[in-house]
Amino acid sequence: MPTSYWVDSTPETDFPSLTETVSVDVAVLGGGITGITAATLLKRAGKTVALLDMKRIVRGVTGYTTAKLTAGQGLIYAELIESFGEQVARGYAESQQEAIERVATITDEERIDCDFERTSNYVYTESGDELEPLRREVDAAQRLGLPASFVTETSLPYEIAGAIKMDGQAQFHPRKYLLPLAHSLPGDGSHVFEYTRATGVVEGDPCRVETDKGPLRARDVILATHIPFLDRGLFFAKVHPYRGYGLTAPIAPDLAPSGMYITSGQPTRTIRPVPDGAGGMLLLVGGESHKPGDDPDTERRYRAIEDFLAERFGLREVTHRWSSQDYIPVDQLPYIGRLTRRSKHLYAATGFRKWGLTNGTLAGMILADAILGRPNRWSSVYEAQRLRPRASAARFVKENAGVARHFVGDRLKRGESRAPKDLRAGEGAILRVDGEKVAVHRDDEGELHALSPVCTHLGCLVSWNTAERSWDCPCHGSRFDPSGTVIQGPAVDDLKQRTLPG
Ligand SMILES: Cc1cc2nc3c(=O)[nH]c(=O)nc-3n(C[C@H](O)[C@H](O)[C@H](O)COP(=O)(O)OP(=O)(O)OC[C@H]3O[C@@H](n4cnc5c(N)ncnc54)[C@H](O)[C@@H]3O)c2cc1C
Ligand code: FES
C-alpha cells in the first residue's frame, strides 16, 4: 500500500484501545494535527483529556500531506476580500501567520526535532496569461499585511513567468512534530486511545461519547475527525472532498530548489525539498487534485507526477508515493467552532482546503480557548455557523448537485455484467450478481472479497480506487479498505459483507 515518507521515516505508535469507561474534562476525537494541538493546549491549561483515534494516530491526512506551513496558499486573498471584506480576509492572513509562529514556539518550548525550517514560499506560473491574477493577489496580500512580493526569478530549474514570494514561512516533518506531543499527553488523568472508533455523541452534562470499545464521559467534546462524523451541522453539504497525490525522489542537495513552490493555475504542482534524515535530500512533488471516486484510473495520477519529476528535474527514482484527500469549503474559509447553534459542549473543525497544517493548528488554538473560556482574536473569522456569502452560492449548488447526481445516477447503473471470477488480481468493480449490485475485489492471493457497495454514511455507491486499493465514496469522501472497514469518515460503520454464489 502507498505509504508516505512521513509515516515511513518515524516509529509506529502503540497506544492502548479504550477498555473501560473513563471520565475526562475534554474528549478529543481524532489524532491528527487538529486533535493533538487541541489536546496539548488543553492539558497544558490543566484539563484532563482523552485523545482517541479509530486507527493509529497521525496516520490520517496529517500523515499524508506535503507539510508546508504557509499563508501563501495559492490565490486566495483577493477572493476573500471580495467575498467577506477586508477585515475577515486580514483575520485569515494574520491567523495563518500566527499558526506558523505557534508551531515554531511549541517546537522550541518542547525541544522537538522535527526538521522545522524557515523558508520562503512561492506561488508561481509559467504562463504570461496568468500574470494578471497573480499581480492582483500580490496587491491583496500586501494590503492585508503579508510579507508578499512579486518576483520573476526562483531557484527552480525552469523559467517561470512570475511568482508571489512570501518570506518567513516554514516547512517541517508533521509526525516528528506531533508524535512527541501525543506521547506527553497520557498521565495525570489524561489518555491516548488508538483503534477506538467514535460512533456517536450524546450531548449532556457530561457528554457521552459512544465508541466501538465502550462509552467515555467528558464535559466537552471536540470532533477533530477531519470532517465531523455527526450529521448535525450539515458540514458534509458545506465542504467537499478532493484527493491529491505526492511522490518523493532523491535529489542532490546542491540541485534541490530552495523554498516551497505551488503553481497558481492548473495543473497544480506543489514542490518542496525534504531532508532525508541521513544528510541527503528528497524532492517532494505533488498535485493531480480530483474528486474521490470520480477517476477509475488513479494510477495515471502518479504517472503524471512521475513524468513531471523526470521532465523538469531529471529524477526517475521514486522512494515513496502516497495520496490523501482534504475538504474544500464552498466559501473557501474553514469551519471552526460549535457543531450547531445549540451546541454548548460539542465543537468541530473542518474544511481546511489542503492548508490544514496551519488551519488545524489554528483550530486547536481556537477550540482550546473556547473550552477554557478565553477570548480568541480569530474565532469570528472561522465561525462554524456562519452564513455563506452570496458569491459562494453557485459553488454550493454545483457541488451538491454533483452529490445528488451520484446518489441517484449511480443507483440507476446496473453494475457490470462480467462474472466475479473474471476480475484480475488487484482489481475491484461493482458487479451485478444474482440481480444485485455487489462490490467485488480480487486480492493479490487471488481471493475474492464481496461487499455491499452502499456507503454506510448516506447511501451513495462506492467505487474502486485502483492505486490505493480502497472503496471510495464520491459523495462525501468516506473510504473503506478491501475488507469493508472504514478507513476515512464521515462513515462510522463498515460496508456490509456479501456472499458470492458457488
Ligand atoms: C495531498 C495533500 C497535501 C497537503 N499539503 C498540505 C500542506 O503542505 N500544508 C498544509 O497546511 N496542509 C496541507 N494539506 C492539508 C492538511 O494535511 C490537512 O488539512 C490536515 O492534516 C488535516 O488534519 P486533521 O487533524 O483535521 O485531520 P487528520 O489528520 O485526518 O486527522 C483526523 C483523525 O481522525 C481520525 N478519525 C476519523 N474518524 C474517526 C472516528 N469516528 N473515531 C475516531 N477517530 C476518527 C482519523 O483516523 C484521523 O487520524 C494537504 C492535504 C492533502 C490532501
Ligand atoms: S460519504 Fe456520504 S454517502 Fe458516502
CB 453 within 8 A of CB 482: no
Minimal CA–CA distance to 460: which of 501, 411, 400, 393? Answer: 411
The predicted pLDDT at position 95 comes to 98
Distance CA 23, CA 25 (A): 7
Mutate to test the pocket of ligand 2, among 231, 458, 488 (most ligand atoms within 8 A of CB): 458
Q: Report whether pLDDT(117) > 90.
A: yes
Residue 486, H or E segment: strand 486-488
* CA gap 26, 37 in Å, rounded: 13
- Which range, of 141-155, 391-405, 445-459, 472-486, averages the lowest pLDDT? 391-405
Distance 63 CA to ligand 1 centre (A): 7
Chain segment 348-369, per-residue pLDDT in tens: 999 999 999 999 999 999 999 9
Percentage of the chain lying above the pLDDT 90 cut: 87
Which residues contact residue 440 at a Cβ distance below 8 angstroms, ignoring those fewer than 6 apart? Answer: 420, 423, 428, 429, 430, 431, 433, 448, 449, 450, 451, 500
Asked whether residue 391 carries a pLDDT value surpassing 70, the answer given is no
Q: How far is the CA of 417 from the centre of ligand 2 (A)?
A: 25
What was the pLDDT predicted at 402?
79
What pLDDT, in 10s, does the model give residues 424-483? Answer: 999 999 999 998 999 999 999 999 999 999 999 999 999 999 999 999 999 999 999 999
Q: Cα of 366 to ligand 2 centre, how many Å?
A: 28
Residues with CB under 6 A from ligand 1: 29-35, 52-55, 59-62, 65-68, 197-198, 224-226, 229, 244, 246, 286, 324-326, 352, 354-358, 360, 489, 492
At 329, is the pLDDT very low, low, confident or very high (cuts 50, 70, 90)? very high
| Of 170 and 236, more confident | 170
- pLDDT band at 409; cut points 50, 70, 90: confident
Half-sphere exposure (CA, 13 Å, Cβ side) for 15? Answer: 27
Select from 234, 451, 457 the residue to mutate for testing ligand 2; criterion: most ligand atoms less than 8 Å from CB: 457
Ligand 1 centre to CA of 34 (Å) is 8
Q: Which tens digits make up the pLDDT trace of 71-102?
A: 999 999 999 999 999 999 999 999 999 999 99
Distance, in Å, from the CA atom of 86 to the CA atom of 63, rounded to the nearest integer, reads 34
Max Cα separation, the chain?
69
Say if residues 371 and 42 touch (Cβ distance below 8 Å): yes
Nearest to 39 by CA among 221, 226, 206, 227: 221
Ligand 2 centre distance from Cα of residue 447 (Å): 27
> How far is C-alpha 90 from the geometric centre of its chain's CA atoms?
24
Secondary structure (DSSP) of 165-220:
EEEEEEE--HHHHHHHHHHTSSBTTBEEESS--EEEEE-SSSEEEEETT--EEEEE
Residue 484 pLDDT more than 70? yes
Per-residue pLDDT of 279-308, as tens digits, reads: 999 999 999 999 988 888 899 999 999 999
Neighbours of 204 (CB within 10 A): 11
Reduce the secondary structure of 408-450 to three states and give it as a string.
HHHHHCCCECCCHHHCCCCCEEEEEECCEEEEEEECCCCCEEE
Alpha-carbon distance of 205 to 259, in angstroms, equals 49
CA of 71 to the centre of ligand 1 (A): 18
Whole-number pLDDT of residue 10: 98
Tell me what the mean pLDDT of segment 148-164 comes to: 97
Mutate to test the pocket of ligand 1, among 357, 362, 485 (most ligand atoms within 8 A of CB): 357
Q: Report the amino acid identity of residue 278.
A: A
**CA-to-CA distance for 31 and 15, rounded, in angstroms?**
11
pLDDT-based confidence at residue 156 (cuts at 50, 70, 90): very high
Q: How far apart (Å, rounded) are the C-alpha atoms in residues 396 and 438? A: 32
* Cα 453 from Cα 435, distance rounded (Å): 14
Residue type, 43: K
Q: Give the ligand whose atoms come closest to the C-alpha of residue 231.
A: 2
Q: What angle do CA 355, 305, 274 make, to 5 degrees?
A: 55
Q: Ligand 1: which residue has its CA nearest to atom 15? A: 354
CA Rg, the chain, in Å? Answer: 22
Compute, in angstroms, the gap from residue 392 CA to the centroid of ligand 1: 24
Supply the pLDDT for residue 47: 98
The residue contributing the CA closest to ligand 2 atom 3 is 458
- Ligand 2 touching residue 495 (CB < 6 A): no
Residue 415 pLDDT grade (very low, low, confident, very high; cuts 50, 70, 90): confident
Q: How far apart are CA 53 and CA 50, in angstroms?
A: 10
- Give residue 395 CA to ligand 2 midpoint distance, Å: 19
Is 461 near ligand 2, meaning CB less than 6 Å away? no
pLDDT digits (tens, 9 = 90+) for 7-17: 999 999 999 99
Grid coordinates representing 399?
Answer: 457541488
* DSSP conformation letters of 65-87: S--EE-S--SS-HHHHHHHH-HH
Higher pLDDT, 20 or 408: 20
DSSP letter string over 110-157? TT--S--EEEEEEEEES-GGGHHHHHHHHHHHHHTT--EEEES--SSS
Q: Which atom from ligand 2 is nearest to the alpha carbon of 491?
A: 1
Give the helix ranges, DSSP H, for 204-350.
299-313
Spell out the domains of the chain, with CATH numbers in brackets.
26-64+176-237+332-385 (3.50.50.60), 411-488 (2.102.10.10)
Question: What is the pLDDT at residue 108?
Answer: 97
Q: Which ligand is nearest to the CA of 36?
A: 1
